[in-house]
Structure 1
Amino acid sequence: MTTSSAVKAVTAVKAVKAATKAVLFHELGGPEVLQVEDVPLAGPGPGEVLFRVEAIGLNRAEALFRAGRYYYQPTLPGSRLGYEAAGVVERVGEGVTEFSPGDAVMSVPAFDFGVHGVYAERAVLPAESLVRRPEGADAVTSAAMWLTYSTAYGGMVETGGLAPGDHVVITAASSGVGTAAIRTALRIGAVPIAVTRGEAKRERLLELGAAHVISAGSEDLVKEVKRITGGRGAELAFDAVGGPGFAAVGDALVPGGTAVIYGTLDRRPVELSMNWPLAVHGYSNGAHSRDAAYRRRSAAFIGSGLASGALAPVIAETFDGLERVTDAHRLMDSSTFTGKIVVTV
């Protein structure tokens, strides 16, 4: 072999190594548009971290993004996907001092997942989009913890001011964030009132700690909340739905109560209650997660809660392998599950 051939061979080997399997989609649609492909693996560049993905936590945002109904649009063809993953650091870029190879980490949703999506065997993220995994937490637990519990903590406690003894109305209560919100409320000493669309999930939500469950399909939200609270209303609402129904959420609160909206599952315009005075806040986990102090407080809340047993992810189902992502998204779209869907890698 000539010197030139040897150099070409080494270059080819390096090119093969500098690739990873990742989930991409080239058109908008249902779960069937997701494909596992080999993609180049660059970096890490300055301020970035390359980590090996061990488990991925699915979020409703990713199903909306895949279908073109998220608040920002994918760049097609070849969009990436995924906010939340747990793994192990393999390399760090120039200037990164807070992480080292071998560190167990989980991702924080402070990036465009069409570009940096973590549905992959390996991923590169900015260092500020990672935090250390809670002490002793395995990959599946870690992949299911951050977004759900940091959203519940940030939305209800830091933004909504939830206090011991308060009643909090939690819509979409069977979702990953909804189940985290129930347990977060209990840890604060508040009273969680879970709202779900039908009767099928009532018993499960009660088992998870909901003090009361309201079936939005057959019960009047405002009347039930007033009955539960002795006519006063709840101090806080934590809403993932929005739309015209947001007015009733506000109607169910005490005068001067607080409504926090963190999702828009109902894409129709949001209607406000006339139950004045009323404080209304929009909450974005991605925006909050860009703040280092917020990440530190959230990590402390999650880590201490996990260590004490007060907080734990509710795992609906675990799928083994990237090739099962399509099946995992089908379950996501069905809305028949309670808790968090996880894919191991």
Structure 2
Amino acid sequence: MSRVIEFSSTGGPEVLEFKDIEVPLPGPGEVRIRVKALGLNRAESMWRTGEYIEEVKLPARLGYEAAGLIDAVGPDVTRFAVGDAVNTVPAFSQNQYGMYGEQVLAPASAVVKHPPTLSFEEAASIWMMFVTVYGAFIEAAKLQADDVVLIPAASSSVGLAAIQLVNMVGAMPVALTRTSAKRQQLLDAGAAAVIVTDEQDLVAEVMRLTHGAGARVVFDPVGGPSLGKLIKAMKTGGILLAYGALSDEPAQFSYLDLLIKLPTIVGYTIWNTSGDPVRQKAAVEFITAGLASGALKPVIDKTFGFDEIVEAHRYLEANNQFGKIVVSV
């Protein structure tokens, strides 16, 4: 028997429940993993509350990122063997698979070899954030060394991954944060500059940093009233990648600014990259190389025990973390 986490109704962290189940042998195209660590993501809390981009079918499992050891493989799986250390990449529906468990099934198409230099906790923290920023910057924005990139919500795990990858390419990451509390941490994490949006004029600061040109790339998970300021701060003909909706207020911007700035506004999700086998492979190879060189590094804010999963979700939703929240199983 294995403990897994399910919920029978949408709501707050308290709806998460432990269930004892017998995890079956993997079928075609599947592997079974003895989980050592889990990475927590905003997508999972949105899934739990019924506010995700996909409709949840109750009762439901959840979880995208796990690191552990394979203890069984499906009859047609040849890339992996029992005993292999592996991680899961978000490339499946949580209506089909959920990684929150002591033992779980996973589609082999979403499984990668464990980076040998990382702990299980570190490996459980990397794939959602680094595949997301790889797809956004390398595939969609075609990031170049002379680009300036604005990164709202920069202290999130994806925001910190964005800073690292922008630096890896040789471009300039400008971190946006609401208060000055995390300013020094963001500079220490590699931000070339930090703009405290509650205290500074965002547009004026960007224009000062770019000598009036504006930022070519904006990587925004917030939306809401600040969207108009981001567009004003852009270079003419730049690209804005919207990958989240943290603000529950309507997006506000001027149509005149669209005519002045001529931005490309793109809705982006990790599925653009992870859902395509060729693109996923390229992303994994790029990220693995970055990890090996030290250009890309896990940033873990706090580790919880598996029994503390409800508390871990409460901590996730408090929005005070700097980096990834991980659960040790």
Query: Which of the five TM-score ranges fits, normalised by the shorter chain?
Result: over 0.9
Instruction: Report if aligned partners of 2:152, 2:222 keep a CA contact under 8 Å in 1.
Output: yes
Which SS does the other structure have where 1:341 is aligned?
strand
Q: 1:259 aligns with which of 240, 255, 268?
A: 240
Q: 1:280 aligns with which of 265, 280, 284?
A: 265
SS in 1 for 2:230: helix
Tell me the alpha carbon deviations over residues 116-170 of structure 1, each in whole angstroms, 9 at most, x when there is no partner.
Answer: 1101011111111111122332211110111111111111121111111211000
Return the offset for 1:271: 4.5
Residue identity in the other structure for 2:54: Y
Write out aligned runs for 1:34-113 (5 A): 34-76=16-58, 78-113=59-94
Q: Does 1:313 align with 2:295?
A: no
Would you say the 8 A contact 1:169–1:192 is kept in 2?
Answer: yes
| Counterpart pick for 1:130 among 98, 107, 111 | 111
Distance 1:246 1:95, change over 3 A: same
TM alignment of 1:152-191, pairs within 5 A: 152-191=133-172
- TM-score (norm: length of structure 1): 0.90
Query: What's the CA shift for 1:243?
Result: 2.7
* Letter matched to residue 325 of structure 1: I
8 Å Cα contact 1:128-1:290 kept in structure 2: no
Of the three residues 212, 225, 228, the one matched with 1:231 is: 212
Matched residue type, 1:315: I
CA contact (8 A) 1:156 1:260 kept: no
Q: Deviations over 1:175-211 (max 9, x none)?
A: 0000000011111101100011211111111110111
- Which of 1 and 2 has greater Rg? 1
Partners of 1:151 and 1:285 in 2: CA distance? 5
User: Superposition pairs for residues 177-216 of structure 1, below 5 Å?
Assistant: 177-216=158-197
1:26 aligns with 2:5: no
Letter in 2 for 1:296: K
Aligned partner of residue 326 in structure 2, secondary structure: strand
d(CA) in 2 for partners of 1:139, 1:260 = 31
Alignment: residue pair count: 325
Q: Does 1:336 align with 2:304?
A: no
SS at match of 1:88: strand
Return the alpha-carbon distance in structure 2 between the equivalents of residues 72 and 267 of structure 1: 18
Task: Say whether the 8 Å CA contact 2:149–2:219 is kept in structure 1.
Answer: yes
| CA distance in structure 2 between the aligned counterparts of 1:131 and 1:189, rounded to whole angstroms | 27
Within-5 A mapping of 1:214-225: 214-225=195-206
Q: Is the 8 A contact 1:107 1:130 kept in 2?
A: yes
Find the aligned partners of 1:222 and 1:130 in 2 and give their Cα distance: 42
CA distance in 1, matches of 2:202, 2:49: 30
| 1:62 to partner: Cα distance | 0.9
What percentage of aligned pairs have identical amino acids? 43
- For structure 1, the residue ranges without an aligned partner over 5 or more in a row are 1-18
Q: 1:298 aligns with which of 280, 283, 291?
A: 283
User: Does structure 1 conserve the Cα–Cα contact (< 8 Å) formed by 2:131 and 2:273?
Assistant: no
Secondary structure of the 2:303 match is strand
Equivalences for residues 136-151 of structure 1 within 5 A: 136-151=117-132
Q: CA RMSD in A?
A: 1.5
CA distance in structure 2 between the partners assigned to 1:242 and 1:105 by the alignment: 35
Between the aligned partners of 2:159 and 2:232, the Cα distance in structure 1 is: 20
Q: Is the CA contact (8 Å cut-off) linking 2:223 and 2:251 kept in structure 1?
A: yes
Does the 8 A contact of 2:44 with 2:62 survive in 1? Answer: yes
CA distance in 2, matches of 1:340, 1:90: 27
